[in-house]
Amino acid sequence: MQAISWKGSYLSLLNQTLLPNKVEYIQCRDYRTVAKAIKNLEVRGAPAIGAAAAFAMVLGIRELAVRPELTDEKISVLAKELKKTRPTAINLAWAVDRMLGVVQRYKQDSDLLDKLEQEALLIAEEDKQVNYRLAQYGAQLFTQPTAILTHCNSGTLATVDYGTALGVIRRTWSEGNVSRVFADETRPLLQGSRLTAWELMQDHIPVTLITDSMAGWVMKQRMVQAVIVGADRITSNGDVANKIGTYSVAILAKEHNIPFYVAAPLSTFDFSMRSGDEIPIEERKPEEITFLSGVCVAPDGVPVFNPAFDVTPNSLITGIITEYGVLRTPYEISIEKLKAKKGDM
């Protein structure tokens, strides 16, 4: 099961909108197909769309180089088109900017396209290794069998491999310290029921599916001892943007004295933003709420508010699991130290 794989002449993406009923791959032979797949959630998850955008840059620059139209203006248009597909997830912009750096360094070289392909492959490989290291640190938090609740999908399907929050769960399970996972279904697009529950069942990890509105009662009944979620953007003060509904779960965890962890790589941190108030929140089309599996479930013409993400304030977060260890409060200090590590890279 690979959500994203590079085939040399095209990018192969697992169409996640069809899961779990059908496994089908999209062959992306130009950057427009990748951009459409990102926008339509056929590929999703912050690390995965970052890697996908990197390969989209390879395809786009190839196209421009053939015409030839490899001008700064055309390259800028390409980058902006990719970035606007999902504005909240910082990994996407991070990957595009990293590829732009390669273009600027080697634009006049005959092997520019090779350099771009190598960089995209490196981004993908780094994501794999980062997730393994992140999972190791996360697993150290659990020394006895623990029931864990998670929201949305932050596993293999959301990354190049292994996962962030689900990566921690996988590693913890392998060490004998996961008794059960509770997966929120995650409305409106059901990433929890369609993707997370499916992934965990593939790995034979015990999983129980619940609706989003059941999380509080599950916690009150002491059926859960920890929460782990992924992230789409983390600001310098430790505020976290993640799939809509995460904020509600964090409040419930706080009320029930349950630790709430976020698992995310360095590439998900946006050091330019001081707090979550600055994060742009993507709003998606009303039909994602008014229709379910093609069936209308709301009155025709009813107004709809459909933000794809919410922001969890740092005060509700017990720790942020990264490939460099687990960050603790005060997050302004621990994240500043993390930023210094980025500068040393």
Could you tell me if 53 and 82 are in contact, meaning their C-beta atoms sit under 8 angstroms apart? yes
Residue 1 has pLDDT above 80, yes or no: no
Give the model confidence (pLDDT) of 276-321 as tens digits.
Answer: 999 999 999 999 999 998 999 999 999 999 999 999 999 999 999 9
pLDDT, tens digit, 9 for 90 and up, residues 220-252: 999 999 999 999 999 999 999 999 999 999 999
β-pairing, 4-6 vs 11-14, is: antiparallel
Selection from 174, 183, 186, 196 nearest residue 147 by Cα: 183
CATH of 4-131, picked from 1.20.120.420, 2.70.180.20, 3.40.50.720, 3.30.260.10, is: 1.20.120.420
Please list the active-site residues: 232
Q: How far apart are the C-alpha atoms of 85 and 269, rounded to whole Å? A: 19
**pLDDT reading at 137 higher than 70:** yes
Residues 6+ apart with CB under 8 A from 340: none
Contacting residues for 330 by C-beta, under 8 A, at least 6 apart: none
In the predicted structure, residue 343 carries a pLDDT above the cut 70: no
pLDDT at 222: 98
Locus of tokens 């993507």: 282
Report the C-alpha gap between 124 and 325 in whole angstroms.
Answer: 21
- In the block, residue with structure tokens 């996988």: 170
The pLDDT tens digits of the residues spanning 87-135 come to 999 999 999 999 999 999 998 888 999 999 999 999 999 999 999 999 9
Can you tell me the distance from the alpha carbon of 163 to that of 203, in angstroms, rounded to the nearest whole number?
13
Q: Give the β-pairing of 178-184 and 207-210.
A: parallel
Give the chain's mean pLDDT: 96
Task: Assess whether pLDDT exceeds 80 at residue 153.
Answer: yes
Work out the number of other CB atoms within 10 angstroms of the CB of residue 235: 24
pLDDT tens for residues 262-272? 999 999 999 99
| Integer Cα distance of 191 and 186 in angstroms | 6
* Nearest-angstrom CA–CA distance, 59 and 10: 8
Annotated binding site for substrate: 44-46, 86, 191, 242-243
**How large a percentage of the chain has pLDDT more than 90?**
94
CA 289-293-298 angle, 5° bins: 40
Map the chain to HEC letters.
CCCEEECCCCEEEECCCCCCCCCCEEEECCHHHHHHHHHCCCCCCHHHHHHHHHHHHHHHHHHHHHCCCCCHHHHHHHHHHHHCCCCCCHHHHHHHHHHHHHHHHHCCCCCHHHHHHHHHHHHHHHHHHHHHHHHHHHHCCCCCCEEEEECCCCCHHHCCCCCCHHHHHHHHHHCCCEEEEEEECCCCCCHHHHHHHHHHHHCCCCEEEECHHHHHHHHHCCCCCEEEECCCEEECCCCEEEECCHHHHHHHHHHCCCCEEEECCHHHEECCCCCHHHCCCCECCCHHHHEECCEECCCCCCCCCCECEEEECHHHCCEEEECCEEECCCHHHHHHHHHHHHHHC
Token representation of residue 298: 């709301």
- The strand pairing partners of 292, in sequence order, are 295
Of the candidates 73, 8, 16, 22, which has an alpha carbon nearest to the alpha carbon of residue 49? 16
Q: Indicate if the pLDDT at residue 157 is higher than 90.
A: yes
> In whole angstroms, what is the distance from residue 281 CA to residue 245 CA?
13
The domain defined by 133-342 folds into Rossmann fold (3.40.50)
Q: Where are the domains of the chain?
A: 4-131, 133-342
